[in-house]
């Protein structure tokens, strides 16, 4: 279980994130949506202790993440390219992460084989370093690396962006599989409302750093979200007209 208490992050005087209380049950899959600057990546960075909270804290499975490092063994994430080691080949990178997570080469080979449809014959075995791969293929490697070693908390920031349509469909299948596992908590952010409502069991909507909506997914969730974002875009439209 992940508990967020009184969490806020301020830069100078602007508050980029302010969450009073949020609880995520073990095994849940959470979809995080929000416009640019809503605080999605900030929240993920706080969850991974990459930035320091201004107030409050996050407790992950009984570990306060900014106090102890014991959350690391059961948490894995792919946020952006800075999670990739550019001078390794994809295979070497996966072996490296595997070694860090206590997996041997055979385990990783088995894992790679099981995701062969996800890679779709690309990215692997191309005699290229990660830095020379296309953005989409880099992302595939990063996502698979985040699944190594049976993590209990998986954090993926914008995993669908830059992926081709077939890979998006395969990724949805993978995330749904994780969501069905009662031991794995998944946190996924996306700008694509269709993807999010499809894979998540619960959707959290951030706006300017605050939780605006927190809903269990039902048949009407997609419409609800779409209406919300439509309203925002329309409420800004007159302002633009006035300026012209």
Partner 1 sequence: MIKYFMSLEWKSFIRSAAFKQNLAFKIFIGFFAGLYGIGFLLFGGGVYYIIEEFIQEGKITGANPLEVVNRFLIYWFVFDLVFRYFLQKMPVTNIKPLLHLPFSKGKIVNYAIGKTVISYFNVLPALFFVPFTVVLFIEGYDSLGIISWHLAALAITLSINFLNIFMNNMDKVFYPVAIIVAVLATLHYHNIFDVTIYTQPVFSFFYENWWSFLIPVLLCYGLGKYAYTYFKNELYLDAGLKSVTKEASTEDLSFLDRFGKISTYLKNDIKLIKRNKRARMTFIMGFIFIFYGLYFVMLDQEYMMIFAALFSTGGFLFSFGGLVPSWDSSYYKLMMSQNIPYREFLLSKWWLMVVVTAVSTVLSLWYVYFGWDWLFAILAGAVYNIGFNSSVVLWGGAFVKTPIDLTSTKKAFGDSKAFNVKTLLLIIPKMVLPVIIYYAFAFMINDAAGYIALASTGLLGLLFRNKIFTLIEQIYKNEKYDTIAAYAQKN
Q: Does 86 bind partner 1 (CB under 8 A)?
A: yes
Residue keyed to tokens 């499809």: 198
| Residue 231: C-alpha distances to residues 194, 215, 226, 236, 237 (Å) | 18, 18, 9, 9, 10
Q: Does 91 bind partner 1 (CB under 8 A)?
A: yes
Measured from the CB atom, the residue of 95 and 160 that comes closer to partner 1 is 95
Q: Does 89 bind partner 1 (CB under 8 A)?
A: yes
Q: How many DSSP H helices and E strands does the chain contain?
A: 8, 10
- What's the min distance (Å) between Cβ of 100 and partner 1? 5
User: Segment 44-73, which members bind partner 1 (CB under 8 A)?
Assistant: 48-52, 69, 72-73
Edge-to-edge strand ranges of the sheet holding 29-33: 75-78, 153-157, 185-189, 29-33, 202-207, 210-216
In the shown chain, the binding pattern of residues 102 to 131 toward partner 1, with x for contact by CB under 8 A and - for none, equals ------------------------xxxx-x
Task: Please give the Cα distance from 85 to 107 (Å, whole number).
Answer: 21
| Number of residues lying near partner 1 (CB under 8 A) | 34
- What's the min distance (Å) between Cβ of 81 and partner 1? 9
Beta strands, E only, 159-198 = 185-189
Among 17, 97, 188, 204, binds partner 1 (CB under 8 A): 97
Q: Does 20 bind partner 1 (CB under 8 A)?
A: no
Burial of 140 per CB tally in 10 Å (0-12, 13-18, 19+) = buried
- What's the min distance (Å) between Cβ of 155 and partner 1? 9
**Which sign does the torsion angle of CA 220, 224, 230, 235 carry?**
positive
Q: Does 180 bind partner 1 (CB under 8 A)?
A: no
Q: Does 182 bind partner 1 (CB under 8 A)?
A: no
Under the rule (CB under 8 A), what is the footprint of partner 1? 48-52, 69, 72-73, 75-77, 79-80, 82-89, 91-92, 96-97, 99-101, 126-129, 131-132
């Amino acid at each position: 279980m992940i508990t967020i208490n009184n969490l806020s992050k301020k830069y100078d005087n602007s508050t980029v994130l302010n969450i009073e209380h949020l609880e995520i049950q073990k095994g849940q899959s959470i979809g995080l949506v929000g416009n640019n600057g809503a605080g999605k990546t900030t929240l993920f960075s706080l969850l991974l202790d990459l930035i320091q909270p201004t107030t409050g804290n996050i407790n992950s499975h009984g570990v306060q993440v900014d106090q102890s490092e014991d959350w690391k063994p059961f948490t894995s994430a792919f946020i952006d390219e800075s999670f990739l080691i550019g001078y390794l080949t994809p295979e070497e990178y996966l072996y490296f992460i595997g070694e860090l997570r206590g997996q041997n080469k055979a385990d990783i080979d088995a894992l790679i084989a099981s995701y062969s449809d996800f890679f779709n014959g690309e990215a692997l075995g191309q005699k290229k370093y990660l830095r020379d791969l296309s953005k989409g293929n880099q992302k595939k490697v990063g996502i698979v690396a985040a699944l190594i070693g049976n993590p209990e908390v998986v954090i993926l920031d914008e995993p669908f962006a830059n992926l081709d349509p077939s890979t998006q469909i395969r990724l949805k299948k993978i995330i749904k599989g994780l969501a069905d596992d009662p031991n794995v908590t998944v946190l996924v952010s996306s700008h694509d409302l269709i993807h999010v409502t499809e894979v998540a069991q619960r959707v959290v909507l951030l706006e300017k750093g605050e939780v605006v909506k927190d809903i269990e997914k039902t048949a009407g969730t997609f419409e609800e979200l779409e209406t919300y974002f439509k309203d925002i875009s329309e409420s800004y439209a007159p302002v633009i007209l006035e300026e012209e």
